[in-house]
Amino acid sequence: MKKDVTEASPMKAVLEELDNLEKVFRETLEKYAERLEADIAMVRGKVLQEQEKEKVPNLRLHELRDMLTLLHQAQTKVDKGRRKDLKKIDGIIGDLAMLSEKW
């Protein structure tokens, strides 16, 4: 009889779902990191293209200064591993991409 009680327990199902949640979390985190890294690479590529030009327009120089200001504001506490730091980094990358998309 005890075996039926144990099988009726949701413990095994919860453990399986926790394993699944951990797997989904890791996969999502990897995709998120890949997307942000691709955005950083895109912005870096555009800045490198501008660097190769002999004369950079004044508006572009202003946008580059704005980018630098954004990058300096990226004060995070890596050791704490906080979601708010990831959101801040995501926001900065989004702003950098927006500034460079019209180049």
Torsion angle (degrees, nearest 10) of CA 21, 94, 86, 66: 180
Q: What does the alpha-carbon distance between residue 67 and residue 79 come to, in Å, rounded to a whole number?
A: 25
pTM exceeding 0.75: yes
Per-residue pLDDT of the chain (103 residues; tens, 9 = 90+): 455 555 678 999 999 999 999 999 999 999 999 999 999 999 999 999 999 999 999 999 999 999 999 999 888 999 999 999 999 999 999 999 999 998 9
CA angle 25, 27, 29 (to 5 degrees): 65
